[in-house]
């Protein structure tokens, strides 16, 4: 599943990337060009604009009701019946939406702060911007979101 997200849902788009989904964040007006791009690239549209629901569009247009970003993630994944895979976490560049490639600690050593090099074991690099990513502090929150989504209604987890 790939997404096209309107400009009111910037934080949601970042979180979809953290969860490993190819997500384009649209900074302009959510107009006909926006919908055409979604159609051409086979992306599900996520929007806070109710008027888009009335437009003719062959693909998925989902109106996001929740205000808090964590609720939005749960809402979107739940409505679309998606179950993100834990090993896909942090597989997409948060800046460019490119799929990251694994890199050895030695290779990224000059690019990351010393304490990160000492405390992290797993690194990925973006082939487009050269950014280095590691699970770090986002991971606990990402996993808690995943737990909420995956085990909803199956206990308190």
Q: Which is nearer to Zn ion, 96 or 112 (CB)?
A: 96
DSSP-H helix ranges across 19-113: 32-41, 69-80, 105-108
Which residues sit opposite 85 in a β-bridge? none
Q: How far is the CB of 24 from Zn ion (least distance, A)?
A: 13
Q: How far is the CB of 9 from Zn ion (least distance, A)?
A: 20
- Binding residues for Zn ion, total number by CB under 5 A: 7
The label of the residue with tokens 């800046």 reads: 95
Residue 128 makes contact with Zn ion by CB under 5 A: yes
**Site for Zn ion (CB under 5 A): which residue of 30, 44, 93, 132?**
93
Contacts of 6 (CB under 8 A, 6+ apart): 26, 30, 34, 45, 46, 47, 48, 49
**SS3 of residue 145 by DSSP:** helix
Q: How far is the CB of 100 from Zn ion (least distance, A)?
A: 8
Please state, in angstroms and as integers, the Cα–Cα distance from residue 26 to each residue in 13, 55, 98, 107, 125, following that order: 10, 18, 16, 33, 24
Site string for Zn ion, 107-126 (x = CB under 5 A): -------------------x
**Site for Zn ion (CB under 5 A): which residue of 32, 36, 68, 95?**
95
Sign of the alpha-carbon dihedral angle for 78, 84, 86, 89? negative
Q: How far is the CB of 20 from Zn ion (least distance, A)?
A: 15
Residue 94 makes contact with Zn ion by CB under 5 A: no
Give residues in contact with Zn ion (CB under 5 A): 93, 95-96, 126, 128-129, 131
């Amino acid at each position: 599943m790939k997404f096209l997200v309107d400009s009111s849902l910037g934080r949601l788009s970042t979180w979809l990337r953290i969860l490993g989904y190819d997500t384009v964040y649209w900074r302009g007006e959510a107009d006909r060009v926006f919908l055409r791009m979604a159609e051409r690239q086979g992306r599900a549209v996520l929007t806070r604009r109710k008027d888009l629901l009335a437009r003719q569009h062959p693909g998925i247009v989902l109106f996001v009701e929740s205000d808090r970003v964590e609720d939005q993630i749960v809402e979107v994944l739940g409505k679309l019946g998606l179950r993100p895979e834990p090993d896909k976490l942090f597989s997409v560049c948060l800046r460019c939406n490119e799929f990251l490639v694994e890199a050895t600690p030695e290779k990224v050593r000059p690019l990351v702060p010393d304490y990160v090099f000492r405390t992290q074991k797993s690194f990925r690099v973006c082939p487009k911007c050269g950014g280095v990513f590691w699970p770090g502090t986002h991971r606990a929150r990402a996993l808690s979101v995943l737990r909420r989504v995956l085990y909803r209604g199956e206990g308190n987890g």
